[in-house]
Structure 1
Amino acid sequence: MPRRDYEDNPHAPKPDALVPAASVVVVDADGRVLLQRRTDNGMWALPGGVMELGESIAGCAVRETFEETGVRVEVTGIVGTYTNPGHVLAYDDGEVRQEFSICLLARPLGGEPRPSDESFEVAWFTPEESDGLPMVASIRKRLTDWRTGAYPVVR
């Protein structure tokens, strides 16, 4: 379902939901990060998604990463929490969410990168290669926080 990201935009629609989600910075032994080009907005992003009832945030991260990229991971840490009330996600079905995401750090355990119904492409990139990829500001912020070691507790 296509979506539009609004970040600190006074013309953004008002949110009607607050949904907990995980995003994941997966880093391989060569220091490359796993990214996917999303089908809902065409932008490059970290794997991740909505937490389900009965699931931990780490379990959500592992499940979503595998579903979206084909790569099995182990969570090893946290990059930060991202709860900017000015970041709103508007979906074509009318749902408008305020962002609430915990970004986790993980390492790959196996599997091969492959697209899914949520991604056009999945690939490994060096941090420098990711600089030129189109992505929404909130994902760029998470990658920057990981690269600089900022590890924010609250955003």
Structure 2
Amino acid sequence: MDAVSGVVPSSAAVSARMSRQGSRDTAPEIAVRRLLHAAGLRYRVNMPVPGMPRRTIDIAFTKARVAIFLDGCFWHGCPQHATHPKANAAWWRTKLDKNMARDRETSEHLHKEGWTVLRFWEHEAPDAIALAVQEARRAVNGPDARPREHA
């Protein structure tokens, strides 16, 4: 049972399957990281969010304070691709709403700490994401910044 909503998952099997769903090193994350690395950029992966336990930044440029999140369409409520399970709909709505609220809270916290936060959907093209990340990093570091960054 979910302590907040008082609603239970539809079945133990569904709950077990969803808990095994990968949350790190997804195919989109790896594709973007490869492109950034090929461009000479160095970054941290799955870095803890400063001051927020149990939360991580997918790709972090610590010196430049740029945080990149690659959000899954289902788990983070993509307006284009999100689906709404019919079985146990109330439980899922509560769960997914909490995910989106946590995303907003994390982004707001990082902004207050002086970080630039970039969020992308898993369906976005990795090359377009990598380009946007490089541009944001240049904007923070200036146009003459060296391509390598060390944490």
Normalized against structure 1, the TM-score is what? 0.23
Larger % of helix: which?
2
Report the TM-score when normalising by structure 2. Answer: 0.23
Rg comparison, structure with higher value: 2
